[in-house]
Every structure is written in C-alpha cells, then in structure tokens.
Amino acid sequence: MVTARAPATSANLGSGYDTFGVALERPADTVTVERASETSIDVTGAGAQYIPEDPDGNTVGAVAEALEAPAHISIDKGVRPASGLGSSAASAAAAALALNELYDRGHTPKELVSVAAKGEAVVSGTAHADNVAPSLLGGFTIIRGDDVTRVDADVSLVACLPEVAVSTRDAREVVPESLSMADHVETVGNAATLTAGMCRSDPTLVGEGMDDPVVTPARAELITGYHAVRDAAFDTGATGVTVSGAGPSLLAVCYPEKRRAVAGAMVEAFADAGVGARAYQTRVGRGATIL
C-alpha cells in the first residue's frame, strides 16, 4: 500500500493561458493505492458524490491504465471538483506518483507529467498539463509543448472558492478564437512580467503580470460577483487578481501581511453578491509527495 498527497493548483494565472501553473500549499488530495488484478476506485471527501468511481470515467483510472498498474485506488478529496483549483489534476498527480512507487516503475516526477495529463483528458477532453505539472513538481511551471520548466517561487496567495460550479468544458467554450495584435502584445508583455516576478518572488510584478485582456474577461462573466470580489481584493492590498483555471475560484496575489485581509474581503464580497464562499490563505507550494 502506498499513499501520496498532491496539491491544488491554479492554471493560466491570467496572462498564461494553457501555459502557466502554480502549486498551492493547500488544499490537497490524498490517494492510497493497493495492488489488485483490476482497477477499482472509491472516493470520499469534498464533492465525492459528483465524482464517478468507474475507472473509465475517472482521471486515476486513465493513469493506472497508462502505467499498466491495476490497483484499488482510494481518493480522499480535499480539492472540490469544478472549482478551478485543479481538482482532477490533484487526483491524477497523486495517483501517478503512488502507482509509480507501488509498482516500482522508476519514472521521475517530471516523466509522470505526461502520464497524469492522460487522466486530465478524461474530464476535459484534452491532455492538458498546466495543472498536473505544478501538482507533481511544485512551484511555478511553464508548459511549452511536451516541455516543462519549473521555477521555485515564494509568493503569498489567496484562493477564494465560491459555492457555484463552472465546468472546464463550458469555460473553454467562451474563450475567443482570435485576438488583435494589440491584445497579443499586451498579453506577451504581461506574461513576461509575471514570469520575472515568480523568478524574483516579487508579488508586485506577479500581480501586474496577471492582467489579461482576452481570456479572463470572457470567463469572468460566468462567475457571479467577479468584479465586486476583484475590487474588494485590490482595496485590501492584493497586487493582482484573476480567475483561477476555468473558475469559479479567484486567485489573488498579495504580500504575506495582507493575506488575511484579502481573504476576508473576497469572502464578504461574494456574500454581498448572494454567493457563499471560502478562502484558502496559501502560497506557492511543493509538489506531490509520498506519505
């Protein structure tokens, strides 16, 4: 028996659509695997009732198949599904690491990224690595084709999760199919600024680089209260705010001493919009680990 923990993540970070990802210190999924003749799955924890236990419909089933590692897999969800915090990726990353250990496959965490991404295809239709890469490797990650670049960063974050759901498929459908040259130039400049900020662990640069004129405005319309919550976060000291992944969570960057105030203001603003929410006071975290 092997147990692994993999963290929640935030992808896109505004200007880095389908490219940037960051591991969060909390929350996280925990996955326990035991050898078996065929794969079976049970799920407990946050939103477990919405997660299929059929291996053909669950991210971890695809991971077990890719590794040729049949097992009884128990998933304890700390990351709610349809949250924009990489819920399916956390399960896939933890399962990949645990099954690799259980069957002594010998893959490095970086090699497991493509394996875990196959699990993502089960829920989103495509094998994206922007969530599984930071969940496995930790830190800030940049996806370029099959290549992953990882950067250590020490940046404080607030992830605010409202009690509504936005599916990844729906969120992808609202993304514009084209953009102007002006928006392209702005996005590239912002993404470069964000990357420099992560390399320097500078919340001001990271926040400035999260601005995005293309994807975020389209997805923001799917989230009740987005604009009021964003304004409240900035008013209490956030240096940047954006939609986390496909949403509905919002991710705020701030200095450590502002984290509590930002979290409280975001929850209160959602409440004023008639939406319950919880906030995770967190930071850039480490990747998946064997427990």
Per-residue pLDDT at 125 exceeds 70: no
The model's confidence at residue 120, banded by pLDDT at 50, 70 and 90, is confident
Its domain, for residue 143, covers 2-151
Tell whether 123 and 172 lie within a shared domain.
Answer: no
Residues tagged in the binding site annotation for ATP: 80-90
Whether residue 289 is contained in a domain is answered as no
Whether 22 and 85 have beta carbons less than 8 Å apart is answered as no
Tens of pLDDT along 209-245? 999 999 999 999 889 999 999 999 999 999 999 999 9
Whether residue 59 is contained in a domain is answered as yes
Tell whether 135 and 190 lie within a shared domain.
Answer: no
Tell whether 204 and 121 lie within a shared domain.
Answer: no
The model's confidence at residue 177, banded by pLDDT at 50, 70 and 90, is confident
Per DSSP, the residues of 140-194 read: EEEEETTEEEEE----EEEEEEES----HHHHHHTS-S---HHHHHHHHHHHHHH
Which is more confidently placed, 221 or 132? 132
Decide: helix, strand or coil at residue 133: helix
Give the residue-averaged pLDDT of 192-209: 98
Per-residue pLDDT at 172 exceeds 70: yes
Q: Where does a domain end: 151, 166, 190?
A: 151
Whether 225 and 122 have beta carbons less than 8 Å apart is answered as no
Residues tagged in the binding site annotation: 80-90
Whether residue 53 is contained in a domain is answered as yes
CB crowding 245-265: b at 16 or more within 10 Å, else e: bbbbbbbbbbeeebbebbbeb
The model's confidence at residue 126, banded by pLDDT at 50, 70 and 90, is confident
Count CB neighbours of 75 within 10 A: 25
Least Cα distance to 83 among 290, 244, 268 occurs for 244
The burial class, CB within 10 Å (0-12 / 13-18 / 19+), for 56 is exposed
Per-residue pLDDT at 124 exceeds 90: no
pTM tops 0.85: yes
Distance of CA 131 to the CA centre of its chain: 5
Per-residue pLDDT at 123 exceeds 90: no
Q: Starting from the edge strand earliest in sequence, which strands make up the sheet with 156-162, in order?
A: 240-243, 250-254, 156-162, 277-283
Tell whether 126 and 162 lie within a shared domain.
Answer: no
Whether 140 and 150 have beta carbons less than 8 Å apart is answered as yes
Tens of pLDDT along 62-72? 999 999 999 99
**pLDDT for the residue 166:** 72
**pLDDT for the residue 167:** 66
Whether residue 290 is contained in a domain is answered as no
Per-residue pLDDT at 165 exceeds 90: no
What's the chain's average pLDDT?
Answer: 94
Q: Where does a domain end: 136, 151, 166?
A: 151
Residues 6+ apart with CB under 8 A from 267: 160, 277, 278, 279
How many distinct structural domains can be found in the chain?
Answer: 2
Question: What is the bridge-based pairing of β-strands 71-77 and 20-35?
Answer: antiparallel
Give Dmax (Cα) for the chain.
56
Query: Residues 122, 62, 136, 32: what is their CA dihedral angle, to the nearest 10 degrees?
Result: 120
Tokens of 207: 């926040």
